[in-house]
A and B are shown apart, each in its own frame.
Chain A
Amino acid sequence: MPRQPPTKEELEARKIVGINLETITNVHDTNYPGHYPGEDHSWDIEKFKQEFSVEIHKNDPYEASFSLIGLDASIANAFRRIMISDIPTLAIEQVFLNNNTSVIQDEVLCHRLGLIPFTAGKEGLRNFVEWQAKPRETGEPADCRDSDTFQLELKVRCEHNPDAGPHETDPTKLYKHAHVYARDIKFNPVGRQYEWFTGENAIRPVNPDILIAKLRPGQEIDLNMHMHKGVGSDHAKFSPVATATYRILPVIDIVEPILGRDAEKFQKCFPQGVIGLEKVTAEDGKRDSRYLGHEGELKAVVLDAMRDTVSRECLRHDEFKNKVKLGRKRDHFIYGVESTGQLESDDIFLQSVQHLKAKAKTFEKQLVNMVR
């Protein structure tokens, strides 16, 4: 007997992870060859092209949100991991302290400096900046080049402000340079760095108001810094993202009508904007006999399941028992990418895709050598 191919509804149902009060069901992807007799789930790029889609919800330089639909978790997770630890950025890597008489210890100060996010002209970052050369065989560091080392300087001395009033108590008015901010860091370009990083393209802190240290009259910070290119897997300061996350799309299925006071209570079980209240119309009654006789009452409808946090609160109340089914759509990933400011959020994602491709490509090449 020939098998019936799965219906559209069945294929959609396979994508839903069931969420019950205490348990979850159907957690694994089953779209592998050999799982369903008579069905072909082998890799097909054309099929993938048809089924895969992207929706962008927000695309600001420092924060982007988008959905990738029709992907496996292993791929989605690869992009996320690459964004966090494999996309290179510039950060302060070496600090040469000439003088530090502030109360903040040398090593703590250096650590703080390393974590300050910097930005610069995108063209230069993309086309000019190179990896620092590896140390020589003898162990001494390789020569610095204008394309891999960027010099910064921080030289601040705190002094009494002669113009301050006699009863002034605010240290920022009483003294000059009582607070050292990221904007006090000066970039000293050399060589070809003038071509790429001048004017509005200069290397500068993303946020000039980051407080680095506090000083009192007579105290001084005088140091030089070198920036290098690095990756997040080496040190978190090189990570281009503050956060890169995804969550799976929540699904709320109201199986039985929820009406009147129950509907209002149901709405309160979810974050704002997830559940809406609508009046039951005569048409509802015609369409679905369960609404007959309830015209004019309020009914609960799903407005925007994406905003749900899947708290399962609604499952704790007996009045909604068997009236609602919670789930998540396994192949719908809602990404949230927040850039630290050096690269734009959408660019970080695109780089992660290129990075994964490059990884596969290099190993494909190496495979030829391995066989030979």
Chain B
Amino acid sequence: MPSQLKTSGSDDVSMDDAPTSHQPQQDESMMDQDEVEDDEENDGEEEEEEEEEEEVQRVKLLPGSTETAASFEFANEGHTLGNALRYVIMKNPEVEFCAYAIPHPSEAKMNVRIQTYEGTTAIQALEKGLADLQDLCDVVNDKFLEARQKFQEQNGVTA
């Protein structure tokens, strides 16, 4: 929704324009059918997440965001992704500020605020953060398998 990206004019937005939540009411009936069909081609552990998200848009750009300073709303996410994502995004030298919040415990929503220096955008910073997090997981996975292999050899266990 590029219409919400105000690149010109005042950067400041009055509080009235920035509601705490911008998730439209989800049409539950939309998500059901396709999940059943998708089931067959899934491999391994990633399946369950994949299906649900394919249909429903779970990340939204909150109003009041500019190119370099934006808030994102993640539906059905919590501290697990929020804090991990905050860490990798803060590791980006182009990012001036990054924080996450769960505005209210009874709403399954998690907000991430990103402010970057000139030359990049908040969306790019978020994209890089998500990509870096995946790379990190790959390294952890590989190193763990390696260590387990070594441990099993040392203890005379055949895999």
Chain B binding surface SS class: helix
Q: Is A223 an interface residue (CB 8 A)?
A: no
The interface on chain A, measured as residues whose beta carbon lies within 8 A of the other chain's beta carbons, has a size of 60
Q: Which of A50-58, A116-124, A203-211, A264-272 lines the interface with chain B?
A: A50-58
Taken residue by residue from 87 to 116, chain A's Cβ proximity to chain B (1 for < 8 Å, 0 otherwise) reads as: 110000000000000000000000000000
A56 and B147 within 8 A (CB): yes
A33 lies within 8 A of B93 (CB)? yes
Name the CB-closest residue of B to A64.
B148
| Chain B CB within 8 A of A134 CB | yes
Q: Are B136 and A56 in contact (CB under 8 A)?
A: no
Residues of B within 8 Å of A, CB-based: how many?
61
Q: In whole angstroms, what is the CA distance A55 to B137 when docked? A: 17
Stretch at the interface among A1-9, A160-168, A359-367: A359-367
Q: Are A42 and B80 in contact (CB under 8 A)?
A: no
Within 8 A of B (CB), among A319-361: 346, 349-351, 353-361
Asked if residues B35 and A133 are in contact (CB atoms below 8 Å), the reply is: yes
**Please, what's the 1-or-0 string for A158-190, where 1 marks a CB less than 8 Å from any CB in chain B?**
000000000000000000000000000000000
Asked if A370 contacts B61 (CB within 8 A), the reply is yes
**A364 contacts B147, CB within 8 Å?**
no
B100-149 contacts to A, CB under 8 A, are: 123, 126-127, 130-141, 143-148
A371 touches B123 (CB 8 A): yes
Pick from A33, A53, A354, A366: contact of B57, CB below 8 A.
A366
In this assembly, does B2 line the interface, its C-beta being within 8 Å of a C-beta of chain A?
A: yes
Q: Within the assembled complex, what's the spacing in Å between the Cα atoms of A34 and B132? A: 19
Inter-subunit contact A349/B44 (CB<8 Å): no
- CA distance in complex: A362, B49 (Å): 8
Whether A32 touches B132, Cβ cut-off 8 Å, given contacts A362-B53, A370-B60, is: no
Among A33, A41, A68, A363, chain B packs the most CB atoms within 10 A around the CB of: A363
Count of CB-CB pairs between chains A and B under 8 Å: 166
In the docked arrangement, what's the CA distance between A49 and B140, Å? 9
B84 contacts the other chain (CB 8 A): yes
In the bound complex, do residue B146 and residue A54 qualify as a contact, i.e. CB atoms below 8 Å apart?
yes
A43 touches B138 (CB 8 A): no
Is there a chain B Cβ closer than 8 Å to A194's Cβ? no
Main secondary structure of the interface of A (DSSP, over half): helix
Q: Shortest beta-carbon distance, B115 to chain A, in Å?
A: 13
The answer to whether B86 touches A353, judged by C-beta atoms less than 8 angstroms apart, is no
Interface residue? B99 (CB, 8 A): no
In chain A between 34 and 89, which residues have their CB closer than 8 angstroms to a CB of chain B?
34, 40-43, 45, 48-49, 52-56, 59, 66, 68, 71-72, 74-75, 77-79, 81-82, 86-88
Residues on A with beta carbons closer than 8 Å to the beta carbon of B77: 359
A-side contacts of B91, CB under 8 Å: 32-33, 41-43
* A contact residues around B136 at 8 Å (CB): 45, 48, 75
Sampled A-B contacts (5; CB under 8 Å): A48-B136, A68-B140, A78-B83, A353-B144, A363-B130
Q: A75-B87, A360-B133, A362-B49 are in contact. List 7 more A-B contacts (CB 8 A).
A: A42-B92, A48-B139, A349-B144, A355-B46, A357-B138, A360-B85, A364-B134
